[in-house]
Chain A
């Protein structure tokens, strides 16, 4: 198994030391920017998506602030439309889609497999730069007048809008390739680079989740690319594809768009589920209940995800027959989702549950995703959806899934692997406080939106009738609590980077394979290729002492 690092033409003097901590194996900004190390690429992604999250979050706060009072609060309607579009587009394309796979997947997946790197390290670096170029186009669009179409770019509004739609769609088009290449890389890595003894039945659930995600990325993203290319052609060349006045069909765009964007929902949520499965096992000290069912339900979601796009169009004028089929198929999504929720809950049974901050995030995921899933039943039920479609109920529903699910998984994974990535411990009590603010704030923001939505408040409204004022105000106050939570969390992480205590190799005492190497890992991940002899959750094979004190002896001293 020759790795890229061995065959890469390297400049002799700055060849990284394979046995040194990856953070200092080679020095200088240039060594980072040209690195082929999956860990460094993962870290660069992590920084990028964090910046994107910050930006998207700021736009979210502006939206909420504007909606604090009816009429104008801080901005005009045209600006407001741009702000909510940018919030959505940045969060979806620059944050959520790359967040877990490209940042954490890149870092953790090869280590979990016992590999030295991903299958194609150069492609990996290239996909990062493609992401950066795509992001630059999106930023360019923001400074050159921004986009006011909503992140869904519905035609014919998007083809007639005078805002800078073309550069934004071009940015998203480019970002798609980054996503495809990462997916491809992971699929090959999982098939080809598993360490000896790592059978499919021993694959950590995180890897199963990444596998399912990668398959969707590779199969669905090209459709987005085609859609956006057609959109740009119509806008620039005046071809009549979607615009009825040119002989096109506006509903066709929605079919195309959701054919990608519904599977994309699973690109976003399956990785969150994947992280949470790891967290439940580690902090219950127990193998995940129904390992096989959870692994297969990820694949099931990936498959079903391709068959339900029409549920976004129940009021759009597709035929009654397709509406019926899509409603039926959408209902099926509840089954693999339910399987996961039930299995996670069963994992807690007779465990030894350690309520660390990552575990609190895993439990938050369970609570919020359950709400997100159950409210999905309202939307999948045809007649009920008609009233709820395009109201704040939908906004709240998908935020419970995307933010209550994926972002909670992301934060849980970030804190869980923080010592692995940085080699530093963080302040647990402070992190718990930030979790409290985030959990309470999040629910305050979106519970209010559920109620106003089912009471008839349409989404994407700059202004509203006085009846909805209490809900909007409450939601805005919630957004401030949420923001405080994130700022405390940022403080905790910065403090850890600057002053955090050195982490032992396995601070959580996890049986996961990624903890079988130093934290932070050495450049080549393992001093020698590991041989896997047990499953990733075989806590019963660990001694009493290891379970309660963590594998390394010095851990007891570092935990408060």
Chain B
């Protein structure tokens, strides 16, 4: 990144909102620069010109009604203009075209789930086609979050108990980033990832890539998210391998370890095939049905010694993904 780039006020714009937004932003910017130079330049000029000198007295202050009215009224014109442009831009930001494609976005501490029209999901990364209006229908499962995509100039809060929407139409293919913009806390301690590295997790880590792909690749993408991912050599992941990948991709690793240590939730090591003690004092065997239920209705059977804080993954994992996770947990026995 060179130094002129560093001084640029706005990042590259990649949506249909971009040009209008940047125009208005830079309009206010240069207007502010002009006003600032005008006001402060005048003040500095006065400070130098009328600096204290022996024998020169300050002149008594007079009145100048015209001037006072002028600088009270003149800004109004500017303000009305800004208000008008800002509002017009806001109206287009909040009015998605009727043919927009819906992507269901679920926020939770500290991950995002994206559900596509065909029922497929991606976690912490979203893929969208270029030149097609896309509408995010956003909700939160716990606290406030906000979806923020700087390159598209859009942002919207995720509010528990409410749906909010945001739309855009991408104009470039490539990768950019989304962030969580509303503060939502952090894990008390670093979380050990599948790669064995401990990472801090929280509000600041709740972002990921936005992949913008050509329309020609869109169908292929949709089909692909229903299938297991593939290795570089083209062979499909085994269910356990896929489960291992989901373990981090779905952020299970923020609460569950695979090395025997308890975190917010119980470890997954050596649980499959054994009995587990529940909070109500009963014991149940950990089998496919138990694991499945634990993921979809986590509060139905709470493990002894843990708090019922696990979010439900009902609706955010496909059946095949559930099977993959079960296969992975099974492989850890």
Bound together: yes
Residues of chain A at the chain B interface (Cβ within 8 Å): 71-72, 76-78, 80-81, 148, 150, 154, 156-157, 160-161, 243-245, 249-251, 284-290, 293, 314-317, 320, 323-324, 327-328, 331-332, 334-335, 338-339, 341-355, 363, 366-367, 370-371, 374-375, 377-378, 380-387, 389-391, 450-451, 454-456, 458-465, 467, 470-471, 537, 539-540, 544, 547-548
For A339, the chain B residues whose CB sits under 8 A away are 68, 71-72
Give the contacting residue for A345; candidates B39, B53, B68, B160; CB below 8 A.
B39
Please determine whether A317 and B46 come into contact, CB atoms closer than 8 angstroms.
no
B306 close to chain A: CB less than 8 A = no
**What DSSP secondary structure best describes chain A's contact surface?**
helix
For B103, the chain A residues whose CB sits under 8 A away are none
Interface residues of B in 152-182 (CB under 8 A from A): 153-157, 159-162, 164, 177, 179-182
Query: Residues of B within 8 Å of A, CB-based: how many?
Result: 92
Please determine whether B186 and A350 come into contact, CB atoms closer than 8 angstroms.
no
The CA of A150 and the CA of B186, in the complex, are separated in Å by 12
B86 close to chain A: CB less than 8 A = yes
Interchain Cβ contacts within 8 Å, total number: 285
B231 close to chain A: CB less than 8 A = no
A430 CB, min distance to chain B CBs, angstroms: 21
The CA of A521 and the CA of B248, in the complex, are separated in Å by 69
For B185, the chain A residues whose CB sits under 8 A away are 81, 148, 157, 161
Known A-B contacts A156-B142, A460-B203; A78 and B148 likewise in contact (beta carbons under 8 Å): no
Give the contacting residue for A77; candidates B7, B11, B160, B187; CB below 8 A.
B187
* Chain A: CB-nearest residue to B46: A348
For A150, the chain B residues whose CB sits under 8 A away are 183
* Chain B: CB-nearest residue to A313: B157
Give the contacting residue for A456; candidates B31, B162, B179; CB below 8 A.
B179
Among A157, A314, A339, chain B packs the most CB atoms within 10 A around the CB of A157
The CA of A284 and the CA of B46, in the complex, are separated in Å by 10
- 22 of the cross-chain contacts (CB-CB < 8 Å) are A77-B202, A156-B144, A157-B143, A244-B161, A250-B144, A251-B162, A293-B68, A327-B87, A349-B46, A355-B51, A381-B82, A384-B89, A387-B21, A390-B146, A390-B181, A391-B181, A454-B25, A455-B10, A456-B148, A458-B179, A539-B60, A540-B60
The CA of A391 and the CA of B153, in the complex, are separated in Å by 12
* Chain A: CB-nearest residue to B44: A363
Please determine whether B54 and A548 come into contact, CB atoms closer than 8 angstroms.
yes
B47 close to chain A: CB less than 8 A = yes
Please determine whether A371 and B36 come into contact, CB atoms closer than 8 angstroms.
yes
The CA of A547 and the CA of B40, in the complex, are separated in Å by 26
19 further A-B contacts with Cβ under 8 Å, apart from A244-B160, A315-B181, A317-B164, are: A71-B200, A76-B189, A78-B186, A81-B185, A315-B146, A317-B162, A327-B86, A331-B79, A345-B42, A352-B58, A378-B28, A383-B24, A389-B155, A390-B182, A462-B186, A463-B200, A539-B60, A547-B57, A548-B54
Known A-B contacts A156-B143, A374-B32, A382-B90; A451 and B148 likewise in contact (beta carbons under 8 Å): no
Please determine whether A154 and B160 come into contact, CB atoms closer than 8 angstroms.
no
The CA of A386 and the CA of B25, in the complex, are separated in Å by 12
Residues of chain B at the chain A interface (Cβ within 8 Å): 1, 6-11, 17, 20-21, 24-25, 28-29, 31-32, 35-36, 39-40, 42-43, 46-47, 50-54, 56-61, 64, 67-68, 71-72, 75-76, 79-80, 82-83, 85-94, 142-144, 146, 148, 150-151, 153-157, 159-162, 164, 177, 179-190, 200-205
Please determine whether A462 and B202 come into contact, CB atoms closer than 8 angstroms.
yes
* Chain A: CB-nearest residue to B143: A157
Give the contacting residue for A390; candidates B51, B75, B155; CB below 8 A.
B155
Give the contacting residue for B21; candidates A347, A351, A383; CB below 8 A.
A383
Please determine whether A348 and B47 come into contact, CB atoms closer than 8 angstroms.
yes
The CA of A48 and the CA of B89, in the complex, are separated in Å by 47
The CA of A342 and the CA of B54, in the complex, are separated in Å by 27
Please determine whether A383 and B57 come into contact, CB atoms closer than 8 angstroms.
no
Please determine whether A351 and B58 come into contact, CB atoms closer than 8 angstroms.
yes
* Chain B: CB-nearest residue to A537: B61
Please determine whether B46 and A454 come into contact, CB atoms closer than 8 angstroms.
no
The CA of A391 and the CA of B57, in the complex, are separated in Å by 48
Please determine whether B160 and A245 come into contact, CB atoms closer than 8 angstroms.
yes
Please determine whether B159 and A316 come into contact, CB atoms closer than 8 angstroms.
yes
For B9, the chain A residues whose CB sits under 8 A away are 450-451, 454-455
Per CB-CB distance, the 5 closest pairs between chain A and chain B, nearest first, are: A383-B89, A244-B161, A456-B150, A381-B86, A348-B46
For B59, the chain A residues whose CB sits under 8 A away are 286, 350-351
Give the contacting residue for A284; candidates B58, B88, B151; CB below 8 A.
B58
A228 CB, min distance to chain B CBs, angstroms: 18
For A341, the chain B residues whose CB sits under 8 A away are 39
B35 CB, min distance to chain A CBs, angstroms: 6
The CA of A370 and the CA of B42, in the complex, are separated in Å by 13
For B179, the chain A residues whose CB sits under 8 A away are 456, 458
Known A-B contacts A317-B164, A354-B52, A384-B25; A250 and B200 likewise in contact (beta carbons under 8 Å): no
Please determine whether A351 and B50 come into contact, CB atoms closer than 8 angstroms.
yes
For A156, the chain B residues whose CB sits under 8 A away are 142-144, 160
For A76, the chain B residues whose CB sits under 8 A away are 189-190, 200
Please determine whether A380 and B86 come into contact, CB atoms closer than 8 angstroms.
yes
Please determine whether B28 and A287 come into contact, CB atoms closer than 8 angstroms.
no
For A467, the chain B residues whose CB sits under 8 A away are 1
